[in-house]
Amino acid sequence: MSTHPAYDELCALALRIHRFEHLQALAHWDHATFMPPGGQEARAAALGEVAALLHRLRTGPELGPLLDAAAGEPLDPVQRANLRELRRAWNLSTALPEGLVQATSLATSRCEHAWRAQRPANDWAGFAVNLREVVRLVREAAQRLGDHLGKEPYEALLDRYEPGLSTARLDELFGRLRGWLPGLIQAAVARQEGEALVSPQGPFPVDAQQALSEALMRRLGFDFGRGRLDRSAHPFTGGVPEDVRLTTRFDERTLLPGLMGTIHETGHARYEQGRPVAWLGLPVSEARSMALHESQSLAFEMQLGRSRPFAEVLGPMLSAAFGPQPAFEPAALYRALTQVRPGKIRVDADEVTYPAHILLRTTLERELIAGALSVDDLPARWDAGMAELLGLSTVGDFKDGPLQDIHWSVGAFGYFPCYTLGAMYAAQWFTAAREARPRLEEEIAAGELEGLFQWLAEQIWQQGSRWETDELAIRVSGRALSDQPLRDHLERRYLGER
Ligand code: CO
């Protein structure tokens, strides 16, 4: 006889939910990769049905009393953390009526699907029709969530991705970033003005790029027995820890963007594959937050992948795949991978200008959710922000402006800040990793990556959601999140010795 029957019942239900989420994740992956266009309406309806079913499971009337009863049962610390996460998920779910959840699933499916054709067609007017409906539904959800959690609406949306992050804390971190970033961008661009740049000479057939990406993923410890790499319009990592689905996109005219996209997604994937096996299927095994997730992709892509020592590993792999050329010499490759050039596209941005894209999106989506900005006025505000932050004109170029990202079409408001919070965490983790492994740079240059991965696995991947985010950060790095390690990293890499 268990001493914690209510807790056991909650876990059994969580596992059931997890298994439906497993199928939901694979249906989403298929939707973004191989599904023929004719499957759209039926898939949207099927996913809407699954979303409604999951919502019923997450909000069943038995849950409240079970959560209360489990709180009084004798639980160990991991079970206690699991219960905390079960309650958090329940709080988020019960705030929203099933009708709203289903309507949102349908509207976002439609908006995302249409976006895939509207973006290349530069069709802002067409997109705006669908986005208005998505924004309307997300604002309603934000209001209800906020009322339920005692937060303002945007903060309540943030909580879905970044538990515990207040808008006050976000304002503090991003306020400091906004203070130092523009000067750093200018200084880095000026610094590189006379730098000789050798670009890789293509074409680079996409099948060869795919093979190289897979070889690189193996080098980075990805387990192909539990996952695969495919292509989609917008790279992502999905699936479940036992079967992680990555996607990337290749362009045969360029080599490095697709490759770095793969390294980025591999960071996400290793976090997923490295989650604590003993707790799989329970909330305590989940990745801690989206910023934590992004901290792993950026640890791989930026901290490791674009570092000077890693160019010693990457260069020979490129030469082996496409034949040697001057651009594959490690010193030249490093300069190409750390080139700072303000551009319109977030996902192609270098790590210095990237946070500027996030500052803009965060400002605009907060105003959309607050009702201070309408969808119709979005392009004009976008253009003004790009001119101010990066000195670029995006007027009339919707496809490389507010149409470029998938996030708003799928209703993921509150997600964008996580990218830059992730960059801050990644820099903070690497500062700690260097203290723990003083020979880290030499190890990387020699291709000995296992020590770094082992450290990340122990410190972060295997911790799942055992700790709340601030506590995890303090355990790993001695302090809660700060913008300072990112600033130090960027100044060292872009304003120091090159
Ligand atoms: Co990412």
Q: Using alpha carbons only, what angle is made at residue 286 by residues 116 and 466, rounded to the nearest 5 degrees?
A: 150
Measured in degrees and rounded to the nearest 5, phi and psi for residue 205 equal: -50, 135
Helical axes 290-298 vs 256-273, angle rounded to 10°? 130
- The per-residue pLDDT for 93 is 87
- The per-residue pLDDT for 101 is 87
DSSP secondary structure letters along 29-75 = HHHHHT--GGGHHHHHHHHHHHHHHHHHHHT-TTHHHHHHHHHTS--
pLDDT band at 194 (very low <50, low <70, confident <90, very high): confident
Please give the Cα distance from 267 to 236 (Å, whole number). 11
Q: How far is the CA of 456 from the centre of ligand 1 (A)?
A: 17
Q: How far is the CA of 257 from the centre of ligand 1 (A)?
A: 14
Are 237 and 243 a contacting pair, CB within 8 Å?
no
Are 23 and 50 a contacting pair, CB within 8 Å?
yes
265 is catalytic: yes
What is this structure's pTM? 0.94
- The average pLDDT across 69-82 equals 98
Are 305 and 350 a contacting pair, CB within 8 Å?
no
**Residue among 217, 210, 330, 328 at smallest CA distance from 264:** 217
Please give the Cα distance from 51 to 101 (Å, whole number). 7
Q: How far is the CA of 265 from the centre of ligand 1 (A)?
A: 6
pLDDT band at 422 (very low <50, low <70, confident <90, very high): very high
Please tell me what DSSP assigns to residue 465: T
pLDDT band at 233 (very low <50, low <70, confident <90, very high): confident
Please give the Cα distance from 302 to 343 (Å, whole number). 18
**Residue among 372, 342, 365 at smallest CA distance from 355:** 342
- The per-residue pLDDT for 235 is 87
Are 256 and 268 a contacting pair, CB within 8 Å?
no
- The average pLDDT across 333-349 equals 95
- The per-residue pLDDT for 348 is 86
Residue-wise pLDDT tens digits, 443-481: 999 999 999 999 999 999 999 999 999 999 999 999 999
User: What is the residue-averaged pLDDT of the chain?
Assistant: 96
Are 238 and 28 a contacting pair, CB within 8 Å?
yes
Are 304 and 452 a contacting pair, CB within 8 Å?
yes
More reliable by pLDDT, 16 or 32:
16
- Which tokens sit at 90? 């329940």
Please give the Cα distance from 361 to 413 (Å, whole number). 10
Are 147 and 95 a contacting pair, CB within 8 Å?
yes
pLDDT band at 350 (very low <50, low <70, confident <90, very high): very high
Beta bridge partners of 247: 230
Residue-wise pLDDT tens digits, 209-227: 999 999 999 999 999 999 9
Please give the Cα distance from 321 to 352 (Å, whole number). 29
Percent of the chain, pLDDT > 70? 100
Find the distance separating the first CA and the last CA of the chain, reported in whole Å: 65
- The per-residue pLDDT for 498 is 74
- The average pLDDT across 309-327 equals 97
Query: Residue 190: CB partners within 8 Å, gap ≥ 6?
Result: none
Q: Using alpha carbons only, what angle is made at residue 69 by residues 65 and 70, rounded to the nearest 5 degrees?
A: 120
Least confident stretch, 41-45, 84-88, 266-270:
41-45
Q: How far is the CA of 398 from the centre of ligand 1 (A)?
A: 23
pLDDT > 90? residue 347:
no
pLDDT band at 497 (very low <50, low <70, confident <90, very high): confident
Catalytic entry in 162, 265, 286, 294: 265
DSSP secondary structure letters along 318-352 = HHHHH---GGGSHHHHHHHHT-----S-GGG--TT
Please tell me what DSSP assigns to residue 305: I
- The per-residue pLDDT for 464 is 97
Q: How far is the CA of 290 from the centre of ligand 1 (A)?
A: 9
Residue-wise pLDDT tens digits, 97-107: 888 988 998 89
Q: What's the residue count for the chain?
A: 498
Residue-wise pLDDT tens digits, 373-419: 999 999 999 999 999 999 999 999 999 999 999 999 999 999 999 99
Residue-wise pLDDT tens digits, 280-289: 999 999 999 9
Q: How far is the CA of 196 from the centre of ligand 1 (A)?
A: 30
- The average pLDDT across 351-362 equals 98
Integer angstrom CA distances of residue 116 from 39, 192, 258, 366: 14, 36, 19, 24
Whether the bond into 235 is cis, omega within 30 of 0: no
